[in-house]
């Protein structure tokens, strides 16, 4: 029950708008002034940099998760092989 409540709170926090609207006031001011003046120079560059930093982190997390998943499947297969060998040996001893 506690795990479900914790998960619900985490999901609500994750999708709350305030958690994503944070940032450096200087960067925000530069982007807003550039966007208001009709320019596309620095505002698009800052946005591209933010997207790069955002996606690179999640790509690394996905690679790590994939590596962990495949290693755990390999480990489970090895354990199953050992159990089958133990069963065969036990049947020969009986």
Q: Quote the DSSP letter at residue 21.
A: S
- How far is the CA of 64 from the CAs of 10, 55, 93, in angstroms? 22, 14, 44
pLDDT of 75 higher than 90: no
3-class secondary structure per residue, 35-46: HHCCCCCHHHHH
Non-local CB neighbours of 27 within 8 Å, separated by 6+ positions: 46
Query: What's the predicted TM-score (pTM) here?
Result: 0.46
Tell me, rounded to whole angstroms, the distance of Cα 78 from its chain centroid. 28
pLDDT recorded at residue 62? 93
pLDDT of 32 higher than 90: no
């Amino acid at each position: 029950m506690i795990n479900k409540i914790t998960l619900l709170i985490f999901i609500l926090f994750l999708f709350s708008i305030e958690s994503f609207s944070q940032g450096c006031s200087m960067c925000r001011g530069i982007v807003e002034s550039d966007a208001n003046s009709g320019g596309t120079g620095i505002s698009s560059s800052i946005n591209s940099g933010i997207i790069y930093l955002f996606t690179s982190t999640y790509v690394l997390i996905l690679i790590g998760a994939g590596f962990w998943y495949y290693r755990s499947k390999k480990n489970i297969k090895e354990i199953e092989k050992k159990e089958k060998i133990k069963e065969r040996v036990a049947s020969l001893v009986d």
